Amino acid sequence: MARLEELGQVGAIAGGGCARLALSDADRAGRDLVVSWMRDLGLVVTVDAIGNVFGTRAGREDRPPVLCGSHIDTVATGGIYDGNLGVLAGLEVMEVLAEAGVVTRRPLTVAFFTDEEGARFAPDMLGSSVFVGGMALETAHDIVGIDGARLGTELERIGYLGSVPCPGLVPYAYVELHIEQGPVLEAHGDDIGAVTGVQGISWQEITVLGQSNHAGTTPIAYRHDAGYVAAATSVFLRGLARELGGDQVATVGRATLHPDLVNVIPGRAVFTVDLRNTDEAVLVEAEARLTEELTRLAAEEDVSIERRVLARFTPVEFDQKVVEMVEATATLLGHRVRRLPSGAGHDAQMLARVCPAGMIFVPSAGGISHNPAEYTSPEALLAGADVLLHVLVGLAEEPDGARQGRRRHGTDEGAGGVGASDAPDETTGHPR
């Protein structure tokens, strides 16, 4: 709790939240603080070429580690729990094991991944994606952020361009504790979520090019109003989400008009669309319907439209055995558990590409997140950390062959230091 509060002070904003956009000065300060805690706990700290940071506690045997963690970057209107909880609970697990004199069979590693939020540099889950070979390192380094900065240059500037190669190690398993960021657990009076998977994500940036003109003299029929098209698209998306129903959500989270003046018709509008669904087929339909509507609006207003994909991830299902383990452990510890999918993106969905992965959710008060008012009670945080501790130890002690036919990559034999494996990755074809 003390670490959560202290890290929350780094980049603190009004209302009790924090702003640590990826690779900003505030992110650097947060990273330095967490690394100092890793060192205080005697963990071996390594940094990879995309700035992911790992703190490892040796096991009784030299094997691929059981990995936990999350992210410490935030959106500009972030709370103190999103991401930070998973990393700091990982540190807590290390401390508890040290105090109890327990050395696990497999090593335990706690990680924080670079730019999970994607709020400054899209896509989200960028560091974990590069870590599993989902995006080439060079491509990631060349990404330009919303402020015009280049990711690789910022990484070097803040001192986190590490030397460990990407893609990195194939862990034995990955478990991430996170706040739910939605209303489901609280609404049902449940303490712990056993997360079954993560919904698919489609982000795009849309640029509408019309014509700036006088707001008083230009009759409606003569306008090529980029602002109108942006607004009409936003209204269309709300109706589309309602019509598709179920899990479909749609958000226009960013919009800028040019020249952004009271008496000038906007000649250019740039806005983002965030579409998500647990059902890939419906998500594809939502994308197609958006395309149709943009084509129709472009003709109606006689404007041109350019589009750029910022992120596209299909829905992910977590490893059945890890989900069962989270559920069983939480039940054994006396908690009310519910299985549920995640609405937010998480590093665990990237790790799920290479190893058995799962997540533990704790309730978010009022379902509020990406907002300084984000809150989870100390009791709920403790419950989540407790489940994390026992699941990690269970995985770290698992006998060989416990998940035969389940691991998709590598074997459980041999040294598993960060960046140690060079077997080819079956999913991406990247050398690992």
Give me the phi and psi of 227, to 5 degrees please: -65, -40
Count interface residues toward ligand GLV (CB under 6 A).
Answer: 5
Count interface residues toward Mn ion (CB under 5 A).
Answer: 2
Contact 195, 360 (CB under 8 A): yes
Question: CA geometry: angle at 345 spanning 309 and 89, to 5°?
Answer: 145
Question: Residue 167: is the preceding peptide bond cis (ω within 30°)?
Answer: yes
Residue (311 or 328) nearer to Mn ion, CB: 311
Q: Rounded CA gap, 90 and 100, in Å?
A: 15
Find the shortest distance in angstroms from Cβ 122 to Mn ion: 13
User: Among residues 124, 186, 190, 327, which is the contact residue for ligand GLV, using CB under 6 A?
Assistant: 124
User: Among residues 8, 55, 83, 372, which is the contact residue for Mn ion, using CB under 5 A?
Assistant: 83
DSSP reduced 3-state for 223: coil
Window of 116-124, 349-357, 394-402, 421-429 that interacts with ligand GLV by CB under 6 A: 116-124
Find the shortest distance in angstroms from Cβ 177 to ligand GLV: 15
Q: Rounded CA gap, 123 and 129, in Å?
A: 9
What Å distances lie between residue 97 and 90, 100, 360, CA to CA?
A: 11, 5, 20
345 interface partner picked from Mn ion, ligand GLV, none, CB below 5 to 8 A per type: ligand GLV
Please tell me whether residue 82 binds Mn ion under the rule CB under 5 A. Answer: yes
Residue (123 or 410) nearer to ligand GLV, CB: 123
Each residue 209-248 as x (binds ligand GLV by CB under 6 A) or -, in order, gives ----------------------------------------
Each residue 171-200 as x (binds Mn ion by CB under 5 A) or -, in order, gives ------------------------------
Q: Rounded CA gap, 332 and 224, in Å?
A: 63
With residue 30 as reference, give the H or E element that holds it.
helix 25-40
Residue type, 110: V
Contact 214, 115 (CB under 8 A): no
Please tell me whether residue 347 binds ligand GLV under the rule CB under 6 A. Answer: no
Please tell me whether residue 345 binds ligand GLV under the rule CB under 6 A. Answer: yes
Residue (225 or 274) nearer to Mn ion, CB: 274
User: Among residues 115, 117, 225, 374, which is the contact residue for ligand GLV, using CB under 6 A?
Assistant: 117
* Residue count of the chain: 432
Residue 307 bridge partners (DSSP): 206
- CB atoms closer than 10 angstroms to residue 229: 25
- Residues lying near ligand GLV in the complex (CB under 6 A) are found at 116-117, 124, 344-345
- Residues lying near Mn ion in the complex (CB under 5 A) are found at 82-83
